[in-house]
Chain A
């Protein structure tokens, strides 16, 4: 079956509409059928409408995403309470161990993102994986860092990613690879992102799943939950009316 590719982390400058629209067009040209754009938590839906229409014209699906960057677990819980129902994708940038642990076990979190370059501040270890394996969160890898770094810092990043990807696979945590691109020149084709995963020893099938099946299933699951017909996992309203 033909794969449908998705990039769940595009970060255009939303103040520059032209740039955002050109990134949408570029994503379509590169072969993506679904993109998610990061919005600030206080965004208004009208902001997203222009991009949504541009995606529709480019025959692509569009999802809204928020990146939460809490300093404490309490702040994370508050953020999830406020924003979970407003965005289709919720990612947590884990900058402390407490936040990472809370995000790992919370079923409202979709993506765990560890962006720190210092390997001591990357908290995706065995304990984190154990927690995340009982939740719904996926492990997100942004390729932007891999492209931007050079020399020893890239070597250290590759080493961390190799260890983290192996842990995620062992615990059955889905891996999602995103571009994290803030400009057109940092965007890559899905197969190119999958090829970059060779550098941290992710198998070809797992790498392709990380740019197709895994991100698509997150969006599908959340849309189902956000729909008015959703009651609880496995229960949804089929029909309304007096005769029901």
Chain B
């Protein structure tokens, strides 16, 4: 999934992943979170753009969790899903289009 962070303040990749894991665990529990297979693939702090991998069976869960994030630490944020693809190669291709 290609994501965009909307915030006035800089957000670190660790901070973001912690917030995402916490959010998934809060909404779906530890069992649900363990099924998402979340991992960070790419992070561009300057463009506030990042790519995360998730199990294809858990895409909707992750999308819901991302939409429900309003704060990371003390910073107000909104995370938007730019696109979703089955392979990383196709994802980058889609973003360039």
- Expressed in whole angstroms, the Cα–Cα distance for A196 and B62 within the complex equals 10
Q: B1-45 interface mask toward A, CB cutoff 8 Å, 1 = contact, 0 = none?
A: 000001100000000000000000001000000000000000000
- Expressed in whole angstroms, the Cα–Cα distance for A36 and B15 within the complex equals 35
Interface flag for B85 (CB, 8 Å): no
Instruction: Find out whether the CB atom of B68 lies under 8 angstroms from the CB atom of A185.
Output: no
- Expressed in whole angstroms, the Cα–Cα distance for A146 and B26 within the complex equals 13
Chain A residue at smallest Cβ distance from B27: A199
Instruction: Find out whether the CB atom of B67 lies under 8 angstroms from the CB atom of A193.
Output: yes
Question: Per DSSP, are chain B's interface residues mostly helix, strand or loop, or mixed?
Answer: mixed
Question: Per DSSP, are chain A's interface residues mostly helix, strand or loop, or mixed?
Answer: helix
User: A148-B70, A191-B81, A199-B27 are known contacts. Are A185 and B6 too (CB-CB below 8 A)?
Assistant: yes
- Expressed in whole angstroms, the Cα–Cα distance for A5 and B6 within the complex equals 21
With an 8 Å Cβ cutoff, the count of chain A residues facing the other chain is: 17
User: A184-B6, A185-B6, A198-B60 are known contacts. Are A192 and B76 too (CB-CB below 8 A)?
Assistant: no
- Expressed in whole angstroms, the Cα–Cα distance for A4 and B52 within the complex equals 28
B77 is contacted by which of A185, A191, A193, A196 (Cβ under 8 Å)? A185
Instruction: Report A101 CB to chain B, min CB distance, Å.
Output: 33
Name 11 interchain pairs, CB-CB below 8 A, sorted by A. A148-B70, A185-B6, A185-B7, A186-B70, A186-B78, A187-B78, A188-B80, A192-B81, A195-B63, A199-B27, A199-B68
- Chain A residues within CB distance 8 Å of chain B: 30, 146-148, 184-189, 191-193, 195-196, 198-199
